[in-house]
């Protein structure tokens, strides 16, 4: 291994503790990233020079959007096997990359201007087919500020999800099948959970109206000129991008507790090239104002803070481990009490 403890391969081998009794991992105290950031900056102030927007982002977004529009038009008359295979391999990978471009832009890391970041986010949103980039930002900012906070961090599965997938499971096979189904459809949990848990965070301004208007206009134009199959290409790309797909392993790898104590994990493998380096997740949470191209430099400058942390070695391996390891499930997340304001 390259350093730290491995996850994403095999299973932990612990005996099952019973399904109905399972619960989240509860911790006291603050999340680990703010204090580590202060410590690292005190030792390596040069890291401040890495902060700020990345000019290349707008070009990668434009290229990915152009690819998806051309692919939607080009594949609309293909046979179903070839059509679906291309969607899974290419379309889902491209749309997942756009998910993570929107993630970058929610941190204002495409431009110095907040307005420009929101507008580019709407461009990145186009091939996804459903407007969400404006809604995503406030929930994601809460995830960073209040990581693991009960009822605040909507990245954590709800009690209902845990009850359905784990607590009411009757045996290993039942639990495994439920986790497979959950993973296959997890895009719906990520889409609807935040708005159901904290509906008050949904923006109510002109930006969300513009996001919907731009998206509806794009979808209608695509349908008019290229037909239903072109639109279906984009929607299926979005679905598979958040389903059982190699890049979607990062949803699990980032914060699911695998080795029993750590609540954030980094992945340093090749899929980062398709995912705006989101695998550098400890580095990202420590320094959310450093753009994707500079995140590897954080680890290079301060290796002693990252190399010995538990790491995910494989996003696809993490999906397999989550499904087949009986000790993993929706409750494999750290929760802490709500902060007082």
| Mean pLDDT of the region 312-317 | 97
Q: What pLDDT score does 259 carry?
A: 78
- Angstrom distance (rounded) from CA 108 to CA 106: 5
Q: Do you know the residue count of the chain?
A: 341
Q: Which of 86-90, 233-237, 332-336 has the lowest mean pLDDT?
A: 332-336
Per-residue pLDDT, 260: 72
Q: Are 95 and 127 in contact (CB under 8 A)?
A: yes
Residue 7, strand partner residues: 312
197's CB contacts (< 8 A; 6+ apart) are 151, 154, 158
Look at residue 34 and tell me whether its pLDDT is greater than 50.
yes
Contact assessment for residue 189 and residue 243, using Cβ atoms and an 8 Å cutoff: no
pLDDT tier at 261 (50, 70, 90 boundaries)? confident
Is 36 exposed, middle or buried, given 0-12, 13-18 or 19+ CB atoms closer than 10 A? middle
Whether 154 has a pLDDT exceeding 80, the answer reads: yes
What is the rounded distance in angstroms from the CA atom of residue 100 to the CA atom of residue 127?
13
* Model pTM score: 0.92
- Tokens 């380096």 sit at which residue? 277
Range in 24-38, 57-71, 95-109, 265-279 with the lowest mean pLDDT: 24-38
Burial-class residue 158 by CB neighbours within 10 Å (0-12, 13-18, 19+). Answer: middle
| pLDDT higher than 90, residue 209 | yes
pLDDT at 336: 87
- Which of these ranges, 14-23, 95-104, 186-195, 265-274, has the smallest mean pLDDT? 14-23
Q: What is the mean pLDDT of residues 156-183?
A: 96
Q: Is the pLDDT of residue 12 over 50?
A: no
The answer on pLDDT for 156 being more than 70 is yes
3-state SS assignment for residue 6: strand
């Amino acid at each position: 291994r390259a350093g730290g403890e491995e996850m994403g391969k095999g299973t932990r081998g612990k005996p099952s503790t019973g399904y109905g009794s399972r619960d989240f991992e509860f911790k006291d105290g603050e999340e680990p990233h703010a204090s580590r950031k202060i410590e690292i900056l005190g030792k390596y102030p040069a890291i401040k020079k890495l902060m700020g927007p990345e000019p290349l982002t707008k070009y990668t977004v434009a290229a990915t959007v152009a690819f998806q529009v051309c692919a939607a038009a080009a594949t609309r008359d293909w046979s179903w096997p070839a059509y679906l295979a291309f969607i899974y391999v290419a379309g889902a990978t491209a749309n997942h990359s756009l998910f993570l471009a929107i993630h970058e832009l929610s941190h204002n890391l495409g431009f110095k201007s907040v307005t420009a970041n929101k507008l580019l986010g709407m461009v990145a949103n186009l091939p996804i087919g459903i407007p969400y980039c404006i809604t995503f930002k406030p929930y994601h900012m809460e995830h960073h500020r209040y990581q693991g906070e009960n009822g605040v961090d909507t990245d954590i599965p709800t009690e209902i999800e845990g009850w359905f997938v784990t607590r009411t499971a009757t045996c290993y096979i039942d639990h495994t099948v439920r986790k497979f189904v959950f993973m296959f459809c997890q895009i719906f949990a990520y889409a609807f959970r935040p708005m159901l848990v904290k509906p008050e965070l949904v923006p109510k301004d002109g930006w969300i109206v513009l996001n919907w208007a731009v998206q509806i206009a794009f979808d209608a134009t695509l349908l008019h000129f290229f037909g239903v199959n072109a639109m279906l290409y984009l929607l299926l790309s979005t679905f598979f991008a958040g389903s059982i797909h190699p890049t979607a392993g990062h949803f699990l790898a980032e914060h699911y507790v695998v080795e029993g104590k750590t609540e954030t994990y980094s992945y340093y493998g090749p899929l980062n090239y398709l995912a705006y380096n989101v695998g550098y997740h400890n580095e990202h949470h420590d320094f959310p104002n450093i753009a994707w191209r500079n995140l590897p430099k954080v680890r290079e400058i301060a290796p002693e803070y990252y190399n010995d942390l538990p790491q995910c070695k494989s996003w696809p391996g993490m999906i397999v481990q989550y499904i087949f390891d009986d000790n993993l499930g929706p409750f494999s997340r750290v929760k802490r009490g709500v902060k007082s304001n």
